[in-house]
Structure 1
Amino acid sequence: MIHNSIITTERTYLSTPDTLEFHQIRKLDSDPEIMRYITKGKPRSAQESEEWITKRRVEYKKNGFGLMPVYLKESDEFIGWAGLKFLDETSKIEVGYRFDKPYWGMGLATEITKAVVSYAREKLGIQQLVAVTDLENEASKKVLLKSGFKFLNQAFYYNTDVDYFELNF
């Protein structure tokens, strides 16, 4: 098992961002289908991927929470990332995730999101979480609803229109 496990689920564990390797994020960032709802399908450059990793590490150290790599328990295989971060220059704490295509449609996003929500409430004492999705991302909307979030409205974050969800404890 990779060290620094923070959150565990039945099939996965989330580790601290210092275990992230460039090639892992690069694989996600360079796939137009994976980036469809993040950058409208435009792959990120290698420099943007490196900056993303650096930002996640800094945020985790500063805030005590962040976006973390997700690994399968049985193989230690990297499958994507999930966790918490501040929503687009606000004080609201957002749940986020992104997974490699072979792991779509297996219920992993819901399993992991529920674990992140429990961690936020029980370990961090967070009273409210938010999430946003691309207006067309039906799969993520279902994950959020299954994880206890309520759709509130359409909003404008990250320079685009999004569906906005909240979960209050």
Structure 2
Amino acid sequence: MHSLNYIKFEPEDLDIYLKIVSSDSVMKYITGRARSREENIKRFKGILKANTDHVKGGYFKIYDRGNVIGLGKLEYYDKEVDTIEVGYILMEDYWGIGFGKTICKDLIQFARINEMAKSIIGIIHPENIASKRILMSNGLESYFLGIENDVPTEKLHMKL
């Protein structure tokens, strides 16, 4: 089992954020491709606002033994009452070695301990089998498979 550190993004973390989200293969099932630098800077500003708005949740840099390996999020999901969304992005060097499962478990446990919501949701591209497996191994169950905002979408959830 991995022992990871989670630290909220701060304004000085733009370069770390850009490093995480600038790969087409990493972003394939999230945005379909890596966004432009300008798009990523705009998104990063939104992340900083979310971190200000959420005392406990928000967006976190994830470290393993001092190395940034990706990001995680716990953000209120406005389409369902009293629901928080769990999400994560791992840099490609860290795929397939158990980090995703640990990150998901840690974030769900954090949301549960801090009573952030009554339910948690994970939203994925249906072809992202690895993320579906991770979410299901952490207790989430699929309840929606279809198109949302013109994008193939699968939603998994569970009660906290």
TM-score normalised by structure 1 residue count: 0.84
2: CA distance, partners of 1:125 / 1:102: 31
Instruction: Say if 2:61 and 2:70, in contact at 8 Å, map to a contact too.
Output: yes
Identity %: 22
Q: Which residue of 1 aligns with 2:120?
A: 129
Counterparts of 1:84 and 1:97 in 2: how far apart (Å)?
9
RMSD over aligned Cα atoms: 1.9
Q: Post-superposition, which runs of at least 4 consecutive aligned residues in structure 1 deviate over 3 A?
A: 155-159
Shift of 1:83: 2.0
- Correspondent of 1:112 among 103, 114, 120: 103
Per-residue CA deviation, residues 31-64 of structure 1 (Å, 9 max, x unaligned), is 1101110122x22111111122211111121122
Structure 1 residues 98 and 158: CA distance shift in structure 2, 3 A: farther
**Any conservation in 2 of the 1:67–1:96 contact (CA below 8 Å)?**
no
Letter in 2 for 1:153: F
1:90 corresponds, among 79, 91, 94, to: 79
Aligned to 1:51: 42
> Does the CA-based 8 Å contact 1:28-1:35 persist in structure 2?
no
Give matches, 1:62-77, under 5 Å: 62-64=53-55, 65-72=57-64, 74=65, 76-77=66-67
- Paired residues for 1:145-156 under 5 Å: 145-156=136-147
Q: CA deviation at 1:157?
A: 3.6
> Could you say if the C-alpha distance between residues 29 and 154 of structure 1 is closer, same or farther in structure 2, counting changes exceeding 3 Å?
same
Structure 1 window deviating more from structure 2 (28-37 vs 141-150): it is 28-37
* Structure 2: tracts of 5 or more residues without a match: none
User: Unpaired runs of 5+ in structure 1?
Assistant: 1-8
SS in 2 for 1:68: strand
Q: Which stretch shows the higher mean deviation, 54-63 or 23-32?
A: 23-32
Q: Distance in 1 between matches of 2:52 and 2:28?
A: 29
Give the total of aligned pairs: 157
